[in-house]
């Protein structure tokens, strides 16, 4: 995981106008392609857990615009080797401690600079969002790496229901606070609840998704059920889980890990092999199931899609 201090930047420094227009065209094209993948709604076709036999024979019916052809990480590894400190700090704690976590019913509070702030029932909120076969096979990097077939949809599809105001330059996400269900929250190694954030242009990029499942089935509790953030060009701790609040704000939010140690955890947290963590190199990563390390790719290999978001920025300063 990458980490240092991130300072606020002027909106004029975010994205040059020509790149902004190119990005808008890219979003329209990718959005149309994604829409073609989905024919059913999440409400009409409820998800369920994936059996071992189904996982062995599973293949996506269609490709997303951002698919990787790399070998997928096995379902068992994805669901038993996790960082989800709300359920414990060891990698096997979430799978063990989250089995009775209740995710239905689930509500999401929308606050801040939006025309339609409210408390929404998640089931109602997701009505009209088509989902079937919207599989995003993505590389994901923490202290290790996996290739995960997420089932989800772009943040922009949900945000349009809230109508963020032009003054909203950032979006902040918050995880459920419930120490009775999440035993890790009884320990003060982080300031609970968990908070993360994105710049609005990052959040509106079609590669930033809300995941509600993996391998085409329901998202397991230990992986962030009922829905979580996935931003594959950033380090894994940006992917906040079990989201209960979305807040649109003008100023850069203070994320949980930045608050805990701003010299190690920056706001942007883009995968960058040239910026080392103070305690280890980030030039290489270990893929789960592989013995040898591999070279870390800038933006986790998604640079052709996202590098324009950071044009002119010093990525060693805004790490």
pLDDT value for 63: 81
Name the stretches of the chain with pLDDT < 50: 1-41, 43-46
Question: CA of 127: how far to CAs of 28, 44, 158, 207, in Å?
Answer: 22, 9, 10, 21
Q: For residue 3, which of 225, 246, 263, 318 has the smallest C-alpha distance?
A: 263
Question: How many CB atoms neighbour CB 28 within 10 A?
Answer: 11
pLDDT value for 302: 97
Are the C-beta atoms of 213 and 150 separated by less than 8 Å? yes
Tokens (6 digits) for 209:
């998704």
Tokens (6 digits) for 204:
């509106």
pLDDT value for 102: 98
Q: For residue 61, which of 32, 31, 30, 40 has the smallest C-alpha distance?
A: 40
| Surface-to-core class of residue 107, CB atoms within 10 Å of its CB (0-12 exposed, 13-18 middle, 19+ buried) | middle
How far apart (Å, rounded) are the C-alpha atoms in residues 189 and 85? 9
pTM of the full structure: 0.84
CA 276 to centroid of chain Cα atoms: 22
How far apart (Å, rounded) are the C-alpha atoms in residues 42 and 99? 22
Q: For residue 66, which of 205, 207, 201, 203 has the smallest C-alpha distance?
A: 207
Per-residue pLDDT of 40-73, as tens digits, reads 345 444 456 666 666 667 888 778 888 999 999 9
How far apart (Å, rounded) are the C-alpha atoms in residues 67 and 23? 19
Report the CATH fold assignment for 11-310: Sulfite Oxidase; Chain A, domain 2 (3.90.420)
Q: Which region, left, alpha or beta, applies to residue 163 given φ > 0 means left and ψ of -120 to 50 means alpha?
A: left
pLDDT value for 54: 64
């Amino acid at each position: 995981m990458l980490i240092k201090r991130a300072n606020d930047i002027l909106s004029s420094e975010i994205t040059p106008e020509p790149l902004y227009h190119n990005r808008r065209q890219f979003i329209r094209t990718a959005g149309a392609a994604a829409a073609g993948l989905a024919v059913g709604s999440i409400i009409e076709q409820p998800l369920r857990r994936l059996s071992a036999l189904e996982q062995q024979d599973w293949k996506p019916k269609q490709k997303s615009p951002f698919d990787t052809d790399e070998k997928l990480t096995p379902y068992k590894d994805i669901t038993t080797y996790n960082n989800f400190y709300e359920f414990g700090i060891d990698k096997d704690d979430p799978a063990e401690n989250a089995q009775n976590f209740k995710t239905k019913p689930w509500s999401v509070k929308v606050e801040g600079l939006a025309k339609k702030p409210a408390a929404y029932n998640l089931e109602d909120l997701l009505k009209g969002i088509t989902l079937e076969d919207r599989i995003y096979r993505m590389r994901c990097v923490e202290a290790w790496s996996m290739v995960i077939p997420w089932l989800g949809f772009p943040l922009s599809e949900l945000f349009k229901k809230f109508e963020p105001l032009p003054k909203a330059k950032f979006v902040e996400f918050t995880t459920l606070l419930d120490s009775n269900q999440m035993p890790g929250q009884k320990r003060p190694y982080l300031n609970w609840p968990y908070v993360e954030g994105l710049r609005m242009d990052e959040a509106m990029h079609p590669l930033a998704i809300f995941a509600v499942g993996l391998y085409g089935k329901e998202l397991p509790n230990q992986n962030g059920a009922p829905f979580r953030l996935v931003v594959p060009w950033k380090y894994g701790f940006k992917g906040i889980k079990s989201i209960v609040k979305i807040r649109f704000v003008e100023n850069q939010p203070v994320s949980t890990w930045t608050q805990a140690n701003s010299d190690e955890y920056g706001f942007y947290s883009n995968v960058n092999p040239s910026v080392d963590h103070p305690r280890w190199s980030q030039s290489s990563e270990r893929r789960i199931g592989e013995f040898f390390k591999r070279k870390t790719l800038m933006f986790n290999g998604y640079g052709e899609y996202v590098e324009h978001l950071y044009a002119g920025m010093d990525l060693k300063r805004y790490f």
